[in-house]
Structure 1
Amino acid sequence: MTSTYLPPALGESVHEVFYPDVQTTVNLFAIHLRSVGSDWNYPAHEHPQYELNYVTEGVQHMTVNGQLYAQKAGELLLIPPGSIHSSQSQNGQGFTYFCMHFDIDDQLFLSLLARIKQVLFHSDSPVTLKIEPVLQKLMNSANENTASNTMVQRMQLQSAVFELFGHLWEAVSHEAAHLFTEGYERIELAHQIRNRLQGLVSQQFKQGHESDTHYGIDDIAAELGISSSHCNRVFKQVFGQSPRVVLSEMVLHEAKVLLGNPKLSVQSIAAMLGYRDIAHFSRQFKRWSGMSPSRYRQEQPAVQ
């Protein structure tokens, strides 16, 4: 476990800009490029991840939740988790496709994807046009010699996948803006609220200021020109949790990182997170995690 960022003492900074924290986990499964024959028939199945399926040659007949799609070369399928789907070749012709399964813990991204009910994206779709170059990069990596460069290829693969997600986010955002204008505006507003919550953790708490009874959410709403009730309602519609709960999760994450550093006392950690009273911090931490800060520290490996 690594030590969290510790800001300079107040008055030392001439200028600084805080960027949003990146705490996204992406899991990739069964990435493959496959050519199949005229008798290809993959039975109906489902999985808990998204599937991205791109045909490079021929035509794939994919049935998703009872709907048949004739997916031509250059077309993309984005199959949601839990969808029952099967794949067949037709008319005595094989085809070639690239496939990857993924899950991601970015709730904003998942919320946006869930709003897109479209499964098949044609070759001239903005979504396909945006991510096709990255898909080509991923497919080309399979042709490279991996015997002596396994780690290099792994890093290149991860880099390309995050690039793909960036383009997918941009393309799907525009798609959502056309199809669900009001809903997309709520998503963007919720994202702004979440970024400000991250800033609250990074700046207010770490500078040793104890939060007020509203945890700064009233101030965030005022900055965005909305009421506190609207702030809470929009945020919960998108993320399924209130801003206060998400803020508590952010503070808990910071507390766990700090507790992983044996050079910091529990009392100093409590002060860094804005608690003037170590007992209050201990009660809050136990309520969030089910154990005291001291017990949590004992169960974690020490930072070298």
Structure 2
Amino acid sequence: MERVYSLPEMKTSTSITGAHQMTVEPAWTSDNHSHPVFEFLYCIDGRFQINVNGCHYRLGSREGLLIGPHRVHNFINNSQEPCTFFTFQFDLDECSLRYWLCQEGEQIVVPEDQTETGLDEFYTLIAQQSEAQDDWNQTHEFDLMQSVGSVSLLKIQGYFLLLLSELVDILKKKSLHKEEKKKKISYEKYEVAHKIASNLENHVEEHVLISKIAEELYMSVSNCNKHFTAVFGISPKSYLNRIKINTAKRYLSETKMGVEEISRRLSFSSASHFSRQFKKLTGVSPIQFRINY
């Protein structure tokens, strides 16, 4: 009997919004800052301290720290030696993945958490794809995406996804081994959050009101927002906007619908509002997206 293995159509949105390596001298300090996305810092060599919302974390070689969106933080090399670290900012839409990233605020990854492959292996593969490898290793700061060809850039993106999958897998295993997990995010919150997400996904082309969903769940709007954000690290409104934009991408690449028609179908208030939201999340206008893809 012949066996046929097939995969379903897979469309997810994962974005890498920034990445760089830095080597800093003793007493170096960064300004306080935050990002609207996740950030992962990985210490390559030396030691440094990260301050996040009043909490202090010390990282050594092959240790990393995941920082959630909008968390104010800064870095300090308070050791006596230079320190080299790698950092990248990213975001993703998949709810089940965001769940593991949002379990406990900041999360430390130590060498013992990593698999045989390890985060440093993926970091090395990313660095090797740079056509300016010598600059990457020798300069104070180097932009990963600078001076690379299209094939190398595609490989870099692939290695970033492998690194991200390794990170999520580590955090998932750590969470599953902690009894406190159920206390921090109860089953009730988890169930409510997924019901809200399912409702939003099934009505992406309608004018969805969070108040209507809250009414159906016999909850207040405030509690709906709190439960959803606690589980996925993003508000229901922001999640719905992402779903709409991802659907718009499909319409732009697979149909001949115009911007006006797409904005109406996805219940945006106007074509200009749709275009602004599209560019905010993708970095390009709907027209430019269609030309590129």
Question: Smaller-chain TM-score range?
Answer: 0.5 to 0.7
Where structure 2 has 5 or more consecutive residues not aligned to the other structure, the ranges are 135-144, 207-243, 275-285
> What is the aligned partner in structure 1 of residue 255 from structure 2?
261
- The structure-2 alpha-carbon separation of the partners of 1:128 and 1:56, relative to structure 1 and needing over 3 Å to count, comes to farther
Q: 1:140 is aligned with what amino acid?
A: Q
> What is the aligned partner in structure 2 of residue 24 from structure 1?
12
- Listed as ranges, the matches of 1:273-284 within 5 Å are none
1:247 aligns with 2:241: no
Rg comparison, structure with higher value: 1
**Post-superposition shift, 1:165?**
2.1
Tell me how far apart the structure 2 counterparts of residues 90 and 256 of structure 1 sit (CA, whole Å). 49
1:289 aligns with 2:267: yes
Q: Is the 8 A contact 2:113 2:170 kept in 1?
A: no
Tell me how far apart the structure 2 counterparts of residues 289 and 140 of structure 1 sit (CA, whole Å). 45
- The structure-2 alpha-carbon separation of the partners of 1:261 and 1:177, relative to structure 1 and needing over 3 Å to count, comes to same
**Post-superposition shift, 1:118?**
4.5
**Post-superposition shift, 1:261?**
3.4
Tell me the C-alpha RMSD between the 2 structures: 4.4
Q: Is the 8 A contact 1:111 1:239 kept in 2?
A: no
Tell me how far apart the structure 2 counterparts of residues 165 and 239 of structure 1 sit (CA, whole Å). 26
Tell me how far apart the structure 2 counterparts of residues 17 and 249 of structure 1 sit (CA, whole Å). 31
TM-score of the two chains, using structure 2 as the length reference: 0.59
Q: Is the 8 A contact 2:47 2:79 kept in 1?
A: no
Number of residue pairs matched by the alignment = 220
Runs of 4 or more above 6 Å deviation = 14-18, 145-148, 183-187, 300-304
**Post-superposition shift, 1:17?**
6.7
Where structure 1 has 5 or more consecutive residues not aligned to the other structure, the ranges are 1-13, 188-229, 264-281
TM-score of the two chains, using structure 1 as the length reference: 0.58
Which of 20, 25, 40 is 2:28 aligned to?
40
Tell me how far apart the structure 1 counterparts of residues 255 and 3 of structure 2 sit (CA, whole Å). 28
SS at match of 1:154: helix
> What is the aligned partner in structure 2 of residue 89 from structure 1?
77
**Post-superposition shift, 1:166?**
2.0
Percentage of matched positions with identical amino acids: 16
Q: Is the 8 A contact 1:123 1:129 kept in 2?
A: no
Q: Is the 8 A contact 1:122 1:128 kept in 2?
A: no
Tell me how far apart the structure 1 counterparts of residues 146 and 264 of structure 2 sit (CA, whole Å). 49
SS at match of 2:88: strand
Q: 1:289 is aligned with what amino acid?
A: S
